[in-house]
Amino acid sequence: MQLSDVDLYNAENWVEGVPHEAFRLLREQAPVFWQEVPEADGKGFYAITKYEDLVAISKDPSTYSSWRGSTMIRDLPKEDLENTRTIMLNMDPPQHSKYRKLVSQGFTPRMTAALEPKIRKTTAEILDRVTPLGQCDFVRDIAAELPLIVIAELVGVPLEDRHKVFEWSNKLIGFDDPEFGNTEEVGKLAAAEIWMYANQLAEQRRKDPRDDLVSVLMMGEVDGEKLSEVDFDSFFLLLAVAGNETTRNLISGGMRALLEHPAEWKRLKDDPSLLNPAVEEMLRWVSPVNHFRRTVTRDTELRGQKLREGDKVVIWYPSANRDEDVFPNPMHFDVGRTPNNHVAFGIGEHFCLGANLARLEIRAIFDEVIRRMPDLEFAGPVRRLRSNFINGIKEMPVRFTPSPAVAA
């Protein structure tokens, strides 16, 4: 493979897997690489593939803005751009800092730990539904369920509505994959539906507050200001997307990695105390989020490359997580890897708000799977999501020795 063969933008090049060979080449030969984009989608961008650069850019929002051109590669029409800026992911300080302070009250270690019993119980129930069957689709039947229920719990979506939210979030993220409805229109419609749903939910909680995150957010204040209706709806939309697909794909992708590395899978089963480092290694290995974009706010330089105000840079998490300068033997999946300072959750200004929650969910699932499905194996081909944004798996048939449900 040569530099001239690299095309990180074309989703076709992500069907078989993350293009790690291209990333290796870029890290070695062109760590600030100019990538063209089809004209209809706007200007090209600089692809950033080194760990150190990803960290520096994420920590410097005044030079590398999430607000100016949003965090998606595709350039948006002005009106759409303005809409995306109501989401904190697409804000810069000082506005971002204010929002972050308000909503982070719902994600402190204590708030997260308080969800643990519920997460454990839900996980046991999810496994109860499949263990007697001896086979299932790991994605739909196991990985997808927990993140959905946790978000639903977090924001107080009634259980009977959660599959609506599931469907909308699929449509939002999967716009590059024909199976989920390949048009931007479908995505916009789904966003509008989530938006309306959030609006109703907030209305209910304002009238009838409970002890869920929605109520906390509706009542919370920063500098004497409350979240507006628009703010709330945007945050809900962000959670429905950011907390769902990512965690689901980490769980599916992590399971896949274990099955493809039988020695590591066995090592983990033999020594469950490796669960924590194993989860971190799955995060490094899978990197569910492939990229985010920043827009340069002033002329600057990166590794000798001049960047001009208005230029787009795109930071690639899976590449940073296999950077030879940071991780010894990066292409080796090692459930005991320490230290493991991966950046699957980003870093700096927008460091994943749900990182601890996601870890809790992932640990709960694998804890149960190790104990109750130790002979789990592939039972059919793994089907991947066609996307340059999310490292996703659509379907992963597995089989195992059936065992009875355990919960009452």
Partner 1 sequence: MKIIVDYDRCEANAICMKVCPEVFEVRDDDNLYLSTETPDESLRAKVMEAVRRCPRQAISVKD
Residues that bind ligand HEM (CB under 6 A): 58, 66, 71, 88-89, 100, 151, 238-239, 242-243, 246-247, 250, 288-289, 292, 317, 344-346, 350, 352-354, 357-358
357 contact choice in ligand HEM, partner 1, none (CB below 5 to 8 Å, kind-dependent): ligand HEM
- Does residue 266 touch partner 1 according to CB under 8 A? no
CA atoms within 13 A on the CB side of 241: 22
Rounded distance between C-alpha atoms, residue 127 and residue 159, angstroms: 18
356 contact choice in partner 1, ligand HEM, none (CB below 5 to 8 Å, kind-dependent): partner 1
Beta-carbon neighbour count of residue 178 at 10 Å? 10
Which residue lies nearer to partner 1 by CB, 29 or 341?
341
Which residue is it, tokens 């690489």? 33
Q: Minimum CB separation from ligand HEM for residue 72, in Å? A: 10
Given the rule CB under 8 A, which of 17-25, 65-73, 103-111, 208-216 is the region that contacts partner 1?
Answer: 103-111
Range 331-370, binding partner 1 (CB under 8 A)? 341, 345-349, 351, 355-356
Asked whether the beta carbons of 309 and 299 are under 8 A apart, the reply is yes
358 contact choice in partner 1, ligand HEM, none (CB below 5 to 8 Å, kind-dependent): ligand HEM
Lay out the sheet containing 312-316: strands in order across: 32-35, 45-48, 312-316, 291-296, 64-65
- Does residue 107 touch partner 1 according to CB under 8 A? yes
Rounded distance between C-alpha atoms, residue 13 and residue 7, angstroms: 7
* Identified binder of partner 1 from the candidate list 109, 117, 158, 381, rule CB under 8 A: 109
- Does residue 51 touch partner 1 according to CB under 8 A? no
253 contact choice in partner 1, ligand HEM, none (CB below 5 to 8 Å, kind-dependent): none
110 contact choice in ligand HEM, partner 1, none (CB below 5 to 8 Å, kind-dependent): partner 1
136 contact choice in partner 1, ligand HEM, none (CB below 5 to 8 Å, kind-dependent): none
Q: Minimum CB separation from partner 1 for residue 385, in Å? A: 27
Pick the closest to residue 150 from 129, 122, 113, 109 (CA basis).
122
Which residue lies nearer to partner 1 by CB, 104 or 200?
104
CA atoms within 13 A on the CB side of 232: 26
Chain Cα centroid distance, residue 406? 31
288 contact choice in ligand HEM, partner 1, none (CB below 5 to 8 Å, kind-dependent): ligand HEM
Q: Minimum CB separation from ligand HEM for residue 166, in Å? A: 14
Q: Which residues pair with 312 in a beta bridge?
A: 295
Which residue lies nearer to ligand HEM by CB, 88 or 255?
88
65 contact choice in ligand HEM, partner 1, none (CB below 5 to 8 Å, kind-dependent): none
Rounded distance between C-alpha atoms, residue 7 and residue 269, angstroms: 39
Which residue lies nearer to partner 1 by CB, 231 or 349?
349
Which residue is it, tokens 């074309």? 10
Rounded distance between C-alpha atoms, residue 285 and residue 18, angstroms: 11
Which residue lies nearer to partner 1 by CB, 135 or 276?
276
Rounded distance between C-alpha atoms, residue 38 and residue 224, angstroms: 46
What is the number of the residue whose Cβ is closest to ligand HEM?
354
Which residue lies nearer to ligand HEM by CB, 68 or 100?
100
Which residue is it, tokens 């499949």? 130
Asked whether the beta carbons of 321 and 342 are under 8 A apart, the reply is yes
The token pair at 319 is 């590449």
Contacts of 171 (CB under 8 A, 6+ apart): 180, 181, 186, 187, 189, 190
108 contact choice in ligand HEM, partner 1, none (CB below 5 to 8 Å, kind-dependent): partner 1
* Identified binder of partner 1 from the candidate list 97, 135, 204, 276, rule CB under 8 A: 97
Quickly list DSSP for 330-397. Answer: TTS--TT-SS----TT--GGG--TTHHHHHHHHHHHHHHHHHH-TT-EE-S--EE---SSB--EEE-E
3-class DSSP assignment, residue 292: strand
How many residues interact with partner 1 (rule CB under 8 A)?
Answer: 17
Which residue lies nearer to ligand HEM by CB, 61 or 131?
61
Burial 62-77 (b: 16+ CB within 10 A, else e): ebbbbbbbbbbbebee
Instruction: Tell me which residues touch partner 1 (CB under 8 A).
Output: 59, 97, 101, 104, 107-110, 341, 345-349, 351, 355-356
